[in-house]
Structure 1
Amino acid sequence: MAVLLCPMTKTINIKPRNFSKTKYFPGCAGNPFDQVLHSLEKLENIPSLVMNVILILLALLGGLPYYLRHHTIPLMTGVLALIFFLDYILLSLLPATKSSFGPPKVVTLMLACLRVPFAWLPAGWNMSFEIAGTALVVYGFYIEPFWLDVHHETFSSTKLTGGQPLRVLHISDLHIERFTRREKSILDKVKELSPDLILFTGDVLNLSYLNDHSAQSDAVNFFNQLSAPLGVYGITGSPAVDFPEFFTRLSRSTSLRWLNNESTLLETQSGRINLMGITCTHNPDLDEKTLSGLLDDQLATQETVKVLLYHSPDLAPNASQLGVELQLSGHTHGGQVRIPLLGALYTGSLYGKTFEAGRYLVNGMTLYISRGLGLEGAIAPRVRFLCRPELILWDLIGTGEVENQNPKSV
């Protein structure tokens, strides 16, 4: 099997870690990140009067250094208060514009706390940074989350014969709150790309809307509009997000075929693909055993390209040692917010910043981590920065010899 290395491929040689003593796993209810998200949600219930008082106090804090030097309240305090309220208005308008549906109060307080230190800068500089901050709020909440990126990748294998490449579209982390212009643009782009096969790697609903009937109906509507000649296959995402009950409904009501710890043989004009889907527990020790069982069956002994769908990238070190050739994952969202030179602030991976986003060569196996399409839920800001939502269109290219008999096409 030959792997075509792309310029942006990150090559990693890594051994699987032992997580037998790990108490909390990312993506599972009860982990520290999950607890923080849900604990801070209570702040959204604070009365508006209390909210206003807190913002005014933070504005006064921003002018404190000036006051200590000159014993007078600076103009910057009033400006800062106005900027705080402008942030609140911008965030409150997100649901009205059907952009996103997160809690505005908590996020406004977060932004205010971030803005205060910049108010301590020298005159001129402080105002410049605050204006830039407002521009970033508009861009991060209103523009980038809807600026869809179609990323093209190529994977070659001697197990596939030459001829027309097989076009495979990778979709991940929808996190649907409502059917918005983002979902519409995704479906329009999918129709335009016209892939042979669509693969989904988990997280259908937003964490804040798991039991919301409108969100569930919109998700069913979304998947009802997906189609491809070779089918639409998918797996569940994080256990805290994709409940089996809803995924069962989704697979029965739409063309989505749920690979629930199972594999299927796709016979294409280029050759056979063993497509495997593992239900992610976020515990690589457990999920490695499930994957090993799939690879031990009779299907795995055939001359097939072994493709794994698994929500988190954390299984990659294990999968690479079991003979998987291509693993498609999501979960990290690429961090959603990325800082130049630093990258993702948070990945939700057991391996930290080792697995962030994009293409990796892990012990010889190709791994792709999608930045996803939707946004984190609960009190997490519905924001993206330097981390556009993406669709990944793969060209699976055969480098093997064409057999005399044509493989059966499905």
Structure 2
Amino acid sequence: MLRPTRSPAHPALIALGAVGAAGVAAAVWGIGIERYLFTVREVTAPALAPGSTPLRVLHLSDAHMAPWQHRKQDWLASLAQLQPDLIVNTGDNLGHEDGLTGIRRAFEPFAGIPGVFVHGSNDVNGPAPRNPLRYFSGPSKRHREPTFLDTDAMDRFFTEELGWTGLNNAATRLTVGGNTLDLFGVNDAHREWDELEVLPEAIAALGPRDAGTSVVGVTHAPYQRVLNRFTDLGADAVFAGHTHGGQVCIPGFGAIVANCDIPLKQAKGLSTWSHGDRTVPLNVSAGCGHSIYAPVRFACRPEATLLTLTARS
């Protein structure tokens, strides 16, 4: 008796099934695994005045904290064991109207370690659902009335309890790890809250600068106008966040969006920025969080950076 034969599956259907399976696997990895693979990236850059002693800087960014994110809180708290000389926080700490609860739990072990911070927009406005495909058309825009967060309470925690200094369109001078640092920064450039024009006066108010003083610029969003101005103002190193390193990247290629105008190859990690006749180290943190409406990381682990600044030759 003859049995009916089955037609072989069409190659297009096989390919489509393979693509679908790969997509599901990538989603499971990015949502269920990689976003919890917190890592410390350790790098070194010559940025201090000649003769300076090395300075260990812990760069934190983009926690986007919600109160239930205990794994992230525990990991951040454990970073105090690295014993950095200075903490640089480049903003977007809050990710929920009760996010300060988690930030307190995460950052309390840093009390007494010198630090500076600037705001990202999510230190002021709560997150909102948005179509992630819109990032491919350029930096995101605000399309609805925001929910305001308790920024003042967060700032009081940072300044009064941790002892950090705010650098939102401001400057300060610190002595850290045997080094004198002039630090200046701006509020979130992505929302055009940066006031670059006030920085020269703020820097001048610090008083005369010794030859052994090093200069550090701090911004949330690394827009080119900010990086250029920081370089012109004498920054020896610049710290930034905001990009999430692309958040969802292509393995072997890297970020496909940066949500600002920085070149994609510089959307994460240590590189250099050149403007005029100066070239300075630039560290852009991929951050350790994500919006509660986009809980995924792919080929871009959540991170903090331990950046050792050394003396220039």
Normalised by the length of structure 2, the TM-score is 0.77
Mapping 1:161-180, distance limit 5 Å: 161-163=51-53, 165-178=54-67, 179-180=69-70
How far apart are 1:139 and its partner, in Å?
Answer: 0.7
Mark the runs of 5 or more structure 2 residues left unpaired by the alignment: 1-8, 126-147
Mapping 1:94-109, distance limit 5 Å: none
Q: Hey, what does 2:144 align to over in structure 1?
A: none
Do 2:119 and 2:220's aligned partners in 1 also have CA atoms closer than 8 Å?
Answer: yes
Where 2:63 maps in the other structure, the secondary structure is coil
Q: Hey, what does 1:146 align to over in structure 2?
A: 36
How far apart are 1:168 and its partner, in Å?
Answer: 1.0
Q: Hey, what does 2:280 align to over in structure 1?
A: 365
Matched residues in 1 for 2:48 and 2:123: separation? 38
Q: Cα distance 1:346–1:287, how it changes in 2: closer, same or farther (>3 A)?
A: same
- Specify the code of the residue in structure 2 equivalent to 1:161: G
Matched residues in 1 for 2:11 and 2:208: separation? 62
Q: Hey, what does 1:248 align to over in structure 2?
A: 152
Q: Hey, what does 2:237 align to over in structure 1?
A: 326
Q: Cα distance 1:220–1:268, how it changes in 2: closer, same or farther (>3 A)?
A: closer
Mapping 1:63-212, distance limit 5 Å: 122-157=12-47, 159=49, 161-163=51-53, 165-178=54-67, 179-188=69-78, 190-206=79-95, 209=96, 212=97
Q: How many residues align?
A: 272
Matched residues in 1 for 2:196 and 2:220: separation? 13
Matched residues in 1 for 2:295 and 2:305: separation? 22
Mapping 1:205-354, distance limit 5 Å: 205-206=94-95, 209=96, 212-213=97-98, 215-229=99-113, 231-238=114-121, 241-242=123-124, 246-253=150-157, 254-255=161-162, 256-282=164-190, 287-299=195-207, 301-303=209-211, 304-314=213-223, 315-340=226-251, 342-351=253-262, 353=264
Matched, 1:387 2:297: no
Matched residues in 1 for 2:12 and 2:151: separation? 55
Do 2:76 and 2:106's aligned partners in 1 also have CA atoms closer than 8 Å?
Answer: no
Greater RCO, CA 8 A, separation 6+: 2
What percentage of aligned pairs have identical amino acids?
27
- Specify the code of the residue in structure 2 equivalent to 1:261: N
How far apart are 1:228 and its partner, in Å?
Answer: 4.9
Q: Cα distance 1:292–1:282, how it changes in 2: closer, same or farther (>3 A)?
A: farther
Q: Deviations over 1:139-196 (max 9, x none)?
A: 1001111111211121224625355x221100000001223212212222x1331212
How far apart are 1:292 and its partner, in Å?
Answer: 2.8
- Specify the code of the residue in structure 2 equivalent to 1:258: G
Question: Between Structure 1 and Structure 2, which shows a larger proportion of helix residues?
Answer: 1
Mark the runs of 5 or more structure 1 residues left unpaired by the alignment: 1-75, 77-119, 401-410
How far apart are 1:396 and its partner, in Å?
Answer: 2.0
Q: Cα distance 1:158–1:192, how it changes in 2: closer, same or farther (>3 A)?
A: closer
Do 1:194 and 1:228's aligned partners in 2 also have CA atoms closer than 8 Å?
Answer: no
Mapping 1:45-64, distance limit 5 Å: none
Q: Deviations over 1:334-362 (max 9, x none)?
A: 11011145432321103463641122211
Q: Cα distance 1:184–1:285, how it changes in 2: closer, same or farther (>3 A)?
A: closer
How far apart are 1:295 and its partner, in Å?
Answer: 3.0
Q: Cα distance 1:300–1:340, how it changes in 2: closer, same or farther (>3 A)?
A: farther
Q: Cα distance 1:353–1:146, how it changes in 2: closer, same or farther (>3 A)?
A: same
Q: Cα distance 1:362–1:312, how it changes in 2: closer, same or farther (>3 A)?
A: same
Q: Deviations over 1:296-336 (max 9, x none)?
A: 33436333211011101111122112211111000010110
Do 1:197 and 1:232's aligned partners in 2 also have CA atoms closer than 8 Å?
Answer: yes
Do 1:140 and 1:383's aligned partners in 2 also have CA atoms closer than 8 Å?
Answer: yes
Matched residues in 2 for 1:281 and 1:300: separation? 28
Q: Deviations over 1:212-261 (max 9, x none)?
A: 23x232223323232354x13211112x5435972321232331432332
Where 1:317 maps in the other structure, the secondary structure is helix
Measured on the aligned residues, the alpha-carbon RMSD in Å equals: 2.8
Normalised by the length of structure 1, the TM-score is 0.60
How far apart are 1:202 and its partner, in Å?
Answer: 0.3
Matched residues in 1 for 2:123 and 2:12: separation? 45
Q: Cα distance 1:257–1:297, how it changes in 2: closer, same or farther (>3 A)?
A: closer
- Specify the code of the residue in structure 2 equivalent to 1:251: D
Do 1:187 and 1:225's aligned partners in 2 also have CA atoms closer than 8 Å?
Answer: yes
Matched residues in 2 for 1:247 and 1:155: separation? 33
Where 1:154 maps in the other structure, the secondary structure is strand
Matched residues in 1 for 2:120 and 2:181: separation? 22
Do 1:274 and 1:300's aligned partners in 2 also have CA atoms closer than 8 Å?
Answer: no
Q: Cα distance 1:201–1:277, how it changes in 2: closer, same or farther (>3 A)?
A: same
Matched residues in 2 for 1:300 and 1:234: separation? 24
